[in-house]
Amino acid sequence: MTTALCVRGLTKRYPAFALQDLSFDLPQGTIVGLIGENGAGKSTLLRCLLGMTKPDQGSITPPLTNFNQISFIPDSCTFPEILTIEQLEKDFTNIYAQWDAKKFWDMASDFGLPKAQKIKTFSKGMKVKLAFCVAFSHHARLLVLDEATSGLDPVVRDEILDLLLEFIQDENHTVLFSTHITSDLEKVADYILYLHEGKKMFMDAKDELTESFALMHCSKKEFEQLPPDAIIRSIEQPYQVDVLVKKADARYTYDAPTLEDWMRMYTKGEKR
């Protein structure tokens, strides 16, 4: 599989936090979900990748320096809100080398975005849709999202997810999607990159995480009888023990683990 981005040994140190020796590849033509608790290092990683912050060490190949090929959509509007989208579109004609005005206006029309209304009057959902209109209209190959769907109603979120799936139909396109809404990633992500306290816990195919593992629920006595090497993580509850294992090692009642379960087990769980 072709790699859209190769990261090796990426490190960024702050007085109270460090992003530590991250290495991973973004497979081209896929959606990679970036998850982790608040303060895990997701935003620091994105800033390093996009050149907003200089890492202390490590490499990013290829360097993301061609803004014509990259589009970044954060959780808040970055456009001058005193403009109308008609005024904004004229500016982008001069900014992007491959600006596609027809694509922009077709998408804006499909979304029902008003031409002559100032952006400051738009709802959050309309502003996010505008950001996607811009991203898709300058033919970016890499789309980076940082909580872009947070605060949106489920209907708008579903529209955005459909756009992402449409985007990667062209296998030259890749999405890195950082979000706390793990249910969105369960719908569209191909891979999951999980950070915890500045370290990579894993990067695996989403289907592997949700279909090949089991979140087992057993008594404390049953838990003590489990082979130690079968236990990935465990959390002791008042009346049971939750145990993350490979599905082949499941002996007792279990559920398919969600991405939230994976985060909970790695954040609060213990190795045996």
pLDDT in tens, 94-120: 889 889 999 999 999 999 999 999 999
CA dihedral 251, 252, 257, 262 (to 10 degrees): -80
Do residues 54 and 184 both lie within one domain?
yes
Q: Are residues 146 and 32 in the same domain?
A: yes
Q: How many domains does the chain have?
A: 2
Cα dist. 225→38, 43, 222, 230, 252 in Å?
A: 35, 41, 5, 11, 11
In a shared domain, residues 49 and 161 = yes
What's 76's domain CATH number? 3.40.50.300
Last residue of a domain, one of 158, 188, 207: 207
Q: Are residues 146 and 53 in the same domain?
A: yes
Residue 126 structural domain:
3-207
Q: What is the pLDDT of residue 272?
A: 67
Instruction: Let me know whether 172 and 49 are in one domain.
Output: yes
Residues 149 and 34 grouped into a single domain: yes
Question: Model confidence over 203-231: pLDDT tens digits?
Answer: 999 999 999 999 999 999 999 999 999 99
Is the entire prediction scored with pTM above 0.95? no
Output the pLDDT for position 270: 85
Whether cis (ω within 30° of 0) applies to the bond prior to 228 is no
8 Å CB contact between 130 and 108? yes
* Cβ atoms of residues 189 and 34 within 8 Å: no
In this structure, what token pair is assigned to residue 171? 């296998």
228 and 105 share a domain?
no
Q: Are residues 36 and 85 in the same domain?
A: yes
pLDDT given at position 19: 94
- Per-residue model confidence (pLDDT) at position 197: 93
- Both 196 and 95 in a single domain? yes
Q: What whole-number distance in Å separates Cα of residue 161 and Cα of residue 156? A: 9
Distance CA 121, CA 123 (A): 7
Low pLDDT (below 70) residues in the chain: 272
